Structure 1
Amino acid sequence: MEIECLLENLKEKNFEEKLSILTKITEISKNTDLNILAEYEIDNILLQIFKDSNTTQRIDLYKILNSLFLLVNDPTIFLEIIKKDFVSNNDSSLYAAMSLYFLMSTYNINYSEFYKLFYQIISPTTIKKDIETVLCFVKTILSTSIPTLKCVQAYIKKLCSLCLLLPTSDTISILHTVYVIMRIHPITLKMCLSESIDNKLLYCLDISFDTFQPYLFEFDILYFSIPPVKKIISIIRNECRKKTKKYEIEFLLNEKCPYSINI
Structure 2
Amino acid sequence: MPLYVMLSTSFKTADEIRAGNLLSLPAQLDLHAWSKAWSSACTGSTCDGMRGYFWNSVSFVVPSVLISTLMGAFNGYVLTMWRFRGSDTLFGLLMIGCFIPFQVVLLPMARTLGALGIASTTGGLIFVHVVYGLAFTTLFFRNYYVTIPDELVKAAKIDGAGFFLIFRRITLPLSVPIFVVSVIWQFTQVWNDFLFGVVFSSGERQPITVALNNLVNTSTGVKEYDVDMAAAIIAALPTLFVYVVAGKYFVRGLTAGAVKG
Q: TM-score range by the shorter chain?
A: under 0.3
Task: Decide which structure has the larger Cα Rg and report it.
Answer: 1
TM-score, normalised via structure 2 length: 0.24
Q: Which has the higher contact order (CA 8 A, sep 6+)?
A: 2
